Amino acid sequence: MAAEPLSIPVPGHGDVSALWQAPAGAWAGLVLAHGAGAGMTHKSMAAIADGLEGLGVATLRYQFPYMERGSKRVDAAPVAHATVRAAAAAAKARAAGLPLFAGGRSFGGRMTSQAQAAAPLDGIRGLVFFAFPLHPAGKPSTDRAAHLDEVAVPMLFLQGDNDALAELALLRTTVDRLGSRARLHLLAHADHAFHAPARTGRKDPEVLAEALAAATDWMRGV
């Protein structure tokens, strides 16, 4: 199904573009934020939306204001949080009672969790992280995960076990600290972009299919 273009007003920050993609008979919806370096139409975002459509999940992809402007500098956290909130509200209006989840790729997932930690997103039952950026490459830390203690809804971490932005031992420690609210699904040999080297025998579509299957299984459980 072709994605339906939308425009979402972000109070105080103008309008941002969005794409609503819903299969017939959808059983859930995901509000899907993009990563820092590529917007909602990037092939990785389209692949997630297309894959979830095939699994019966509707998606609302949307732009952050900086990406809408064509800037390379990400928005300040309050602007990003306001955008996440506006997108969640737009998805709720479109979803016609579907169970809703939120999250996204890397930066987008982190901004979603920060917004949820500050004040719960209306109607959102859980968060799905496609490669949570636990720390900058080469600078292992768990500081970026401190706010997750304030997130009360369930969380799913879909993470490559070769992710330079999430040292595995630190990631396990973080998820363990969150207790029953959090689940970690590791993608063998995958990096932050869910790419696996050819020598491993894994192809990128296979990695993504595993991630999406894990996401939908988890959402059904929630």
Structural domain of 201? 4-221
Instruction: Specify the pLDDT at position 153.
Output: 98
- CA dist., res. 6 & res. 20, Å (int): 7
- Residues above pLDDT 90, as percent of the chain: 98
Instruction: Specify the pLDDT at position 96.
Output: 86
Sole residue written with tokens 């999406």: 212
Residue ranges of E strands in the chain: 4-9, 15-21, 28-33, 57-62, 100-105, 124-130, 155-160, 182-187
pLDDT tens digits along 70-89 = 999 999 999 999 999 999 99
Instruction: Specify the pLDDT at position 21.
Output: 97
Strand pairing category for 4-9 and 15-21:
antiparallel
Instruction: Specify the pLDDT at position 2.
Output: 82
Helices first, then strands: H and E counts in the chain:
6, 8
**Averaged confidence pLDDT in the chain:** 97
pLDDT tens digits along 95-148 = 989 999 999 999 999 999 999 999 999 999 999 999 999 999 999 999 999 999
Residue 12 burial (10 A CB sphere; 0-12, 13-18, 19+): exposed
- Residues above pLDDT 70, as percent of the chain: 100
pLDDT of residue 150 exceeding 90: yes
- CA dist., res. 163 & res. 32, Å (int): 20
Average pLDDT over every residue of 154-163: 98
Contact 175, 182 (CB under 8 A): yes
pLDDT of residue 1 exceeding 70: no
Average pLDDT over every residue of 53-71: 97
Instruction: Specify the pLDDT at position 146.
Output: 97
Give the total number of structural domains in the chain: 1
pLDDT tens digits along 175-210 = 999 999 999 999 999 999 999 999 999 999 999 999
Instruction: Specify the pLDDT at position 141.
Output: 96
Domain holding 202: CATH number? 3.40.50.1820
- CA dist., res. 130 & res. 167, Å (int): 15
What are the residues facing 129 on neighbouring strands? 104, 157
